Amino acid sequence: MAKRTIVSLPGDGIGRVVLEETIRVLNAAGFEADYVEGDIGWEFWKNEGNPLPDRTIKLLEKHKIGLFGAITSKPKDAAFEELSEDLKEKGLVYSSPIVGLRQHFNLDVCIRPCQTYTGNPLNFVRRGKDNSIEEPKVDVVIFRQNTEGLYGGVEWSDPPQEVYNALLSHPKFRLNFGNVPKNELSISTRIFTKKATARILRASFEYAKKYGYKSVTVCEKPNVIRETSGMMYKMAQQMQRDEYPEIELWNTNIDAQMMWLTKNPEDYGVIVAGNMFGDIVSDGFAGLIGGLGFACSANLGEEVSVFEPTHGSAPKYADYETSIVNPIAMIASACMMLDHINEKAISSKIKKAVAEVILEGKVKTYDMMKMTGKADVVKKGAASTKEMADAIINKL
């Protein structure tokens, strides 16, 4: 088979080191690929006024698969301050390049698995009967709609008159907000389309079917957010009835789901939600399996897909001479990439190696040792980013 080309997108801060170590693991596992580096992130904002240059878009258009580290984002004003002097006159406004990628390539299906590694010292434990300690095995895969909802960007402070007039036509608006001066209103919309809702639902049912999960849970709030959450749940009911009768459809409210997070996390399989609630519920479950050092994700579009750890660029660790951050989230994201492009044997091999290193418990990054992240953690016995990758490579 022809060698693959993967677009590597290191980005900022710790993005570069976790990606480098991950590529070392991929090579050691026998994955044959060429990597072309795509420019993305803060440097390109400062120097070019665009954190997602067109040449990077072109690379992804051509090669279809991106492996992304992390970027640094800053609020609008801070971003403007750091822009190079000659660009300051141009009226440029910063926007996050990862959100930009999701929107440009319509990467609308986000998958975030949260699966317990046996032996991980960060695993959630709870008190059982007679004060016993239980360590439930979490095996949840969250499907988050990635492009719409509260992240769709349709929002105003002091909305234009025509928007205000349209809102006034809604009886609830007149009743609850009709007396508020227009310039004291901030409005963020939550827009769901049938097409994207059907895509995220179908992706979640298909996944449950393929990997043998018994249930799909819609985690929204249809009793209160009747139109958007309501539409998603109704469409899920119809899809389950017509196409996936062998899979159970469960319905939870996001607030109750977070309360139950620690009560019965082992009961859930596939969970599907809109953009905001998907973000919340996936961070919640990630906390049960070790947090940001372990949380991986895939952003899938119809053509292009980008795989990335959930964590950001962790700037405070970026300049350490020896990097201390946990590369497992990035490595697990690369395994999702391998599964996606049908390199399942290599993916399984890497996942097995990661699981063995964690189970053995000899090599642990600072987060796994419950240390505060400081430059001296390696002297105190924590593995560096590279040592963790080496340990995984040794198990391959």
Q: How many CB atoms lie within 10 A of CB 110?
A: 26
- Shortest distance, position 97 Cβ to ligand NAI, whole Å: 8
- Shortest distance, position 99 Cβ to Mg ion, whole Å: 12
Instruction: Examine residue 287 and tell whether it contacts ligand NAI (CB under 6 A).
Output: no
The residue among 202 and 311 lying less far from Mg ion, judged by its C-beta, is: 311
By the 8 A CB rule, do 349 and 360 touch? Answer: no
- By CB under 6 A, how many residues form the interface with ligand NAI? 19
Instruction: Examine residue 239 and tell whether it contacts ligand NAI (CB under 6 A).
Output: no
Residue 269 binds which of Mg ion, ligand NAI, none (CB < 5-8 A, kind-dependent): none
3-state secondary structure of 125: coil
Structure token pair of residue 381: 């016995």
Alpha-carbon gap, residue 117 to 123, rounded angstroms: 8
The residue among 127 and 370 lying less far from ligand NAI, judged by its C-beta, is: 370
Residue 56 binds which of ligand NAI, Mg ion, none (CB < 5-8 A, kind-dependent): none
By the 8 A CB rule, do 326 and 391 touch? Answer: no
Alpha-carbon gap, residue 386 to 390, rounded angstroms: 6
- Shortest distance, position 292 Cβ to ligand NAI, whole Å: 4
Sign of CA dihedral 98, 99, 105, 108: positive
Instruction: Examine residue 323 and tell whether it contacts ligand NAI (CB under 6 A).
Output: no
In terms of phi and psi (left: phi > 0; alpha: psi -120 to 50; beta: otherwise), the region of 30 is left
Find the DSSP H helices in 141-251. 161-168, 171-177, 194-211, 228-243
Q: How many CB atoms lie within 10 A of CB 287?
A: 17
Among 343, 367, 387, 390, binds ligand NAI (CB under 6 A): 367
Alpha-carbon gap, residue 94 to 110, rounded angstroms: 24
Q: DSSP string covering 64-76, please?
A: -EEEEEE-----H
Instruction: Examine residue 343 and tell whether it contacts ligand NAI (CB under 6 A).
Output: no
**Residue partners of 369: CB distance under 8 A and separation at least 6:** 121, 377, 380, 381, 382
Instruction: Examine residue 98 and tell whether it contacts ligand NAI (CB under 6 A).
Output: yes
- Shortest distance, position 352 Cβ to ligand NAI, whole Å: 21
Alpha-carbon gap, residue 200 to 223, rounded angstroms: 21
Sign of CA dihedral 48, 52, 58, 60: positive
Instruction: Examine residue 278 and tell whether it contacts ligand NAI (CB under 6 A).
Output: no
Residue 312 binds which of Mg ion, ligand NAI, none (CB < 5-8 A, kind-dependent): ligand NAI
Span of 110-118, 200-208, 275-283, 322-330 interacting with ligand NAI by CB under 6 A: 322-330
By the 8 A CB rule, do 309 and 212 touch? Answer: no
The residue among 367 and 390 lying less far from ligand NAI, judged by its C-beta, is: 367
- Shortest distance, position 264 Cβ to ligand NAI, whole Å: 27
| Closest chain position to Mg ion (CB) | 279
Q: Tell me the per-residue interface mask from 264 to 283 with Mg ion, x by CB under 5 A, - otherwise.
A: ---------------x----
Instruction: Examine residue 311 and tell whether it contacts ligand NAI (CB under 6 A).
Output: yes
- By CB under 5 A, how many residues form the interface with Mg ion? 1
- Shortest distance, position 99 Cβ to ligand NAI, whole Å: 9
Q: What are phi and psi of 127, to 5 degrees?
A: -85, 130
The residue among 108 and 279 lying less far from Mg ion, judged by its C-beta, is: 279
| Chain contacts with ligand NAI (rule: CB under 6 A) | 70-73, 98, 292-293, 308, 311-316, 325-326, 329, 367, 373
* Site for Mg ion, rule CB under 5 A: 279
